[in-house]
Structure 1
Amino acid sequence: MRLINKIELGDPSTQQQRFIDVKLRLMCCRYWHLELWDCHNMVFPFWRIYWNKNEGGELKLQHQVYQMDPDFLYIVSPFTPFSSSYLKNKRYTSGIHVAGKNLSFEHDETHYETKSLIHFFTHFNLGAPFDNVLPGIFKIQLTPHLREGLMYLTNELKLDNQNFKMTFNLKLQSFIKETISNIGAELWKTINIDERVLIVHRFIEANITEKLSNADLASLVHMAPNSFARLFRTEMNLPLHSFIQNRKIAKACELFGHTNETIESISFNLGFSDRYHFSRVFKAVTGISPAAYKSGRYL
């Protein structure tokens, strides 16, 4: 008979296990018919999963074009500069333009399929370091199990798209996790980054409202500022300064979505010198002004 080694865990084994903590935060999940989906150079600090029931949707990442297939899901990682369009109604070459409405059981989907894009999407974050992977669009085959989950979610969204039951939340989380688990292993190399970079990464996340200097961050891991800056860029494929700005803007987007704080308050609390400096950085990262983001005009 073996005695329990860790009483507080009820674990009878002496072998230590290491788990990766994924902190999934749901932001939105919707099922719409879209007459217009002209969105250009979108860059936002959250993950997206897209699925179109019918053909006609298109995604672009630099020179790569994805003609969206109903048999596939499309995953967009955070801070990916991409564009989207509904080819039957393509009007714009810049800006973010969306026209549509949520679907319900009062709507005849077959009617809308002839003139609209039947579109499912969900936005979410995974927490550090998974929100800082390489930018990209990933095409995932709809397995029978994923399709079953997708059908459950879209049917529930047609019943109620505001007040979700616990079952819906769990099914959505399961669907997201299964979908992203199908992305190739090369995407997740950030979980194996140098321990010194990871220490600083976690410090930045925990102190994102502070003014963070290269010298102070390098001192956390006992390195010279220039040496650490080179190490960080090699490991994260991004300069340290740009990374900090991206994380501050990501925090700002979260605050805009979940609080009533003003732009001035958020810019001050995130360590920017003034609203104008914050607005310049916000637009450089996302492509739109903080006022447009806060008001929801980007949708």
Structure 2
Amino acid sequence: MNQQNKMPHTGDPSNVIQHFPKYQIQLLCCRHWWLEKWEFKELSFPYWRIYHNSSSGAVIIYNGKEYQLASNKVIMIPPNTSYATRLYNNRIPKAGYSLKGGRVNTNFSEETLHLDQYILHLFIHFNIGIPYDTFHPGIFCFDLTDHLLEKLQKIKRHLNYENAKFSFPISLALKSLITDLLAELPEESWNILTKNHRILESFNFIEQNINKDLNNSVLAENANMSTNAFIHLFSSETGMSPQKYIRQKRINQACILLHHSSFTIDQIAFKTGFANRYHFSKIFKEVSGLSPARYKKVLA
């Protein structure tokens, strides 16, 4: 028998073990709004965003550069990118924001809205998990291909009729859209904090136990290291102490829950590991510059 054509006993032509990165797209929200006002001095959130507008007029300002949102462009923004926004030449408030809009449904259309005053605005929020949510900040603009347009139209048609429940095919369309855009991002921009397996496992342990007491001794024991050795390794790999990292992760999780859950502020304080609402509100304002109640109103 020709040895080149012989089937291997395992049914696999290779005995090389392959390793693939583990990630999971967590959809946080997907909405289609009309906007009359969209003026923010600063937007910075611990989750990814996708924007697509049906007409021009909206602007994102990042690092002194303006990015126009238009019908032939799709915008993707990584977590913790700080940027400003406005519609047309509207003035951006010196503090806070100016937001006026609402859901697009079957009663709305581009014809019934005054296009010189309103913008139709699709936005999607999602996470893909640690360490891939540590992507380098920036604004990424993609040309709208027929392939992307087909998915966007399917998603918008669904949202025009149903805003709360998503079918499996629509969820697939959303995740397919996200994956297509992520795959086009520059490979060198994936700013992973560390590749050390012990620290990566610590990241996962922190996320799964964010509401518990996570002192350095607990973290070190989980990593099978002495406390001092763990602190040194964590700080050298990430550039921050374990407790500073935990505080930031708790605030990040609180931001997500404030925007994408129906939990009360007291419940969110408990779920993110703070002693009480007062302590949570104090730390949250120190980090974000806004009270939790004020932050909860900022969405689009």
Regarding TM over 0.5, the answer is yes
Deviations 1:125-167, CA, capped at 9 Å, x for gaps: 1122222323322222222211221222222222332332221
> Residue 266 and residue 148 in structure 1: after superposition, are their counterparts in 2 closer, same or farther (change >3 A)?
closer
Equivalences for 1:20-99 in 2 at 5 Å?
A: 20-90=21-91, 92-99=93-100
Partner of 2:285: 283
Q: Which moved more, 1:40-49 or 1:154-163?
A: 154-163
Which of the residues 177, 201, 204 maps onto 2:203? Answer: 201
**8 Å contact kept, 1:30–1:161:** yes
Question: Which residue of the partner structure matches residue 187 of structure 2?
Answer: 185
Q: Tell me if 1:232 matches 2:233.
A: no
Deviation of 1:261 after TM superposition, in Å, equals 4.3
1 CA distance for matches of 2:260 and 2:92? 32
Q: How many residues align?
A: 289
For structure 1, which runs of at least 5 residues remain unmatched after alignment? 6-10
Between 1:85-94 and 1:167-176, the stretch displaced more is: 85-94
Residue of structure 2 in register with 1:129 after alignment: 131
SS class of match (2:114): helix
Distance across 1 between alignment mates of 2:270 and 2:31 = 33
Alpha-carbon offset, residue 35 of structure 1: 0.3
Identity %: 33
Q: Which of structures 1 and 2 has the bigger CA Rg? A: 2
* Larger CA deviation: 182-191 vs 252-261: 252-261
| TM-aligned CA distance change 1:268 to 1:191, over 3 Å | closer
Change in 2 beyond 3 A, CA 1:64/1:230: farther
Quote the RMSD (CA, aligned, Å).
2.8
CA contact (8 A) 2:57 2:87 kept: yes
AA of the residue aligned to 1:171: A
Q: Give the TM-score normalised by the residue count of structure 2.
A: 0.83
- 8 Å CA contact 2:41–2:83 kept in 1: the answer is yes
- Structure 2's unaligned 5+ residue stretches are 1-6
Q: State the distance in 2 between where 1:165 and 1:271 align.
A: 33
Whole-angstrom CA distance in 2 between matches of 1:48 and 1:192: 24
Residue 176 (structure 2) aligns with: 174
